[in-house]
Amino acid sequence: MTDTPWLVVGLGNPGSKYAGNRHNVGQMVLDLLAERAGARFARHPRAQAAVAEARLGVLPGGAPGPRVVLAKPSTYMNVSGGPVSGLARYYGIDADHVLVVHDEVDIPFDTIKLKTGGGEGGHNGLRDITKALGTKDYVRVRVGVGRPPGRMDTADHVLKDFSATERKDLPILVDDAADAVEMVLVEGLLAAQGRFHSKV
């Protein structure tokens, strides 16, 4: 295994107003990953993001896992691409070592799926990252938040906090998503897909 670092990005909107929104579940996962690694986020001098450098997971034999740059863009979701591409350039990280954790309305709450490439499913944060990186070929950890009820607009749905019922299971969902990130980094995408897709 090379020691090329990974750029692990959690998507969301800045500020306490949005912190509990479904749209911010990616940043919730990044907070847990930083906690696991004993790392603290700090404002990056060259990009609009809070970053923390660490190692995640444990390699076979007990060695520390891969080097990672954990990043939470401080821009609004729809313009996440600038911070992501800026950090990738700053740290010399190619798109195949960029992993984005984000909310996904097309899969049920309490479900995690993983993929590389493909469409953005109407997710404006992903669309902007794809445009900025010039490729769709980065890893996505898709955290299910479910479809909006009734005729509610999708944008309204993702900009609302999780329901009281969902909040009971949210820590488990965030923990599972953090596990998925670590598994991708340590064991590879196929192994992680095998574990998490089989749970659906």
Each residue's pLDDT tens digit, 13-30 = 999 999 999 999 999 999
Helices 164-187 + 189-197 axis angle, to 10? 150
Catalytic residue status for 197: no
Per-residue pLDDT tens digits for 97-113: 999 999 999 999 989 99
Per-residue pLDDT tens digits for 78-99: 999 999 999 999 999 999 999 9
Secondary structure in 3-state letters for 117-175? CCCCCCCHHHHHHHHHHCCCCCEEEEEECCCCCCCCCHHHHHCCECCHHHHHHHHHHHH
Pull the structure tokens for residue 68.
């990672």
Q: How many CB atoms lie within 10 A of CB 193?
A: 17
102: exposed, middle or buried (Cβ count in 10 Å: 0-12, 13-18, 19+): buried
Q: In what order do the strands lie in the sheet with 42-43?
A: 42-43, 49-55, 67-73, 6-10, 98-104, 139-144, 112-116
At residue 193, what is the residue type? Q
Closest Cα partner for 40 from 50, 48, 49? 50
Predicted structure pTM score: 0.95
Looking up tokens 């996505």 gives 140
Catalytic-labelled residue, pool 23, 97, 123, 157: 23
The CA distance from 110 to 24, in Å, is 15
